DNA sequence: CACATATATTGCAAAATGCAAGTTACTAAT
DNA sequence: ATTAGTAACTTGCATTTTGCAATATATGTG
């Protein structure tokens, strides 16, 4: 199913994972998509203030690695939304584990709540 | 218990976690320590070939954030070992979740096995 | 004394990040 | 018809981090 062989640094699954999402931004984008955000502006407006060039770069890489899918939700003008693939959604246990660790050792942190994004006309949210 | 308030980017536990281990190397060091490695040379000799300046930098940061503890295991000459604190060991579910994701989507990856490090004279390993 | 070992530090080029401004293509308002 | 606004980017440039190789320091060993 996946055909991305030849691992960059080693065949360790952790290493391989970090080669995909081991940076300060990628998992935050995954988090936002998991919470129901879909559009570029939604992602830009998160409280961490990601720079637009970084966001564009990460969205491209996430498509290449198959964690997200980009689709036009309208034409004239073309507007795009980003949705998690199954492979992307499968990162939920990773995010949950990080949240669990964070909440335990930094009790002042607060978990973000899913968007009530009825405007997206989507039946279910993660 | 922790007194590192004033979160860098936001109060999200994921963001806060990524500010600590959101890079390509930190979780690999944690992995190695979890597997029973303790010494600088052990860490240097992992298959990912971390550069010594990066390793030294990460070991310092991991001490500052309280994930590892550095102790001399001998004097003359002073030699040091690095061990996970409880806070560090608590990252095991995060590593396990990453392993789970990696194994599912990259079946050719292989989980590293714990060292049989009797030479460390340590009673138990993670 | 010469050499080896463990734990680093330093120098420097390359890559990634962060910030601000600019671009494109359309819609909406006056 | 001009002006302004919006979404989704792109570009330029300075700063920071990474990666690689070489060097450093203290000690023990032959």
Q: β-pairing, A79-84 with B68-74?
A: unpaired
Instruction: Write down all domains in chain B, each with its CATH number in brackets.
Output: 23-112 (1.10.10.10)
**Dihedral sign, Cα of residue B50, residue B56, residue B61, residue B64:** positive
For residue B1, what pLDDT is reported?
42
Percent of chain B at pLDDT exceeding 70: 87
Residues of A in contact with B13 (CB under 8 A): 98-99, 101-103, 106, 109-111
Check pLDDT > 60 for residue B69: yes
**Which residues does nucleic strand D approach, with CB less than 7 A?**
A 39-41, 52-53, 56, 59, 70, 77, 79-81; B 23-25, 49, 51-54, 57, 76-78
Angle at A28 between CA B60 and CA A61, to 5 degrees: 100
Helices B26-34 and A13-21: crossing angle in degrees, nearest 10, is 160
pLDDT in tens, B15-65: 999 999 999 999 999 999 999 999 999 999 999 999 999 999 999 999 999
| pLDDT, mean over chain B | 88
Rounded to whole angstroms, the Cα distance separating A15 from B99 reads 9
Mean pLDDT for B108-119 is 77
Mean pLDDT for A6-12 is 87
Closest CA to B29 of B3, B2, B6, B51: B51
Nearest DNA or RNA nucleotide to A76 (CA to C1'): C26
Show contacts of B52-58: CB within 8 Å, 24+ apart: B54/B25, B55/B25, B55/B29, B58/B25, B58/B26, B58/B29
A·B CB contacts under 8 A: 146
Rounded to whole angstroms, the Cα distance separating B2 from B66 reads 9
Closest CA to A91 of B18, B92, B102: B102
pLDDT in tens, A66-113: 999 999 999 888 899 999 999 999 999 999 999 999 999 999 999 999
For residue B47, what pLDDT is reported?
95
């Amino acid at each position: 199913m996946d055909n991305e062989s030849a691992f960059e640094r080693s065949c360790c699954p952790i290493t391989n994972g970090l080669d995909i999402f081991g940076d300060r931004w990628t998992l935050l984008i995954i988090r936002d998509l998991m919470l129901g955000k879909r559009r570029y502006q939604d992602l830009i407006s998160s409280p961490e203030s990601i720079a637009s060039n970084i966001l564009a770069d990460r969205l491209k890489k996430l498509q290449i690695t198959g964690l997200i899918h980009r689709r036009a939700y309208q034409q004239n003008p073309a507007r795009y939304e980003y949705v998690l693939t199954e492979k992307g959604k499968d990162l939920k246990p990773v995010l949950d584990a990080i949240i669990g660790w964070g909440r335990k050792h930094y009790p002042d942190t607060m978990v973000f709540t899913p968007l009530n994004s009825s405007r997206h006309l989507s039946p279910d949210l993660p």
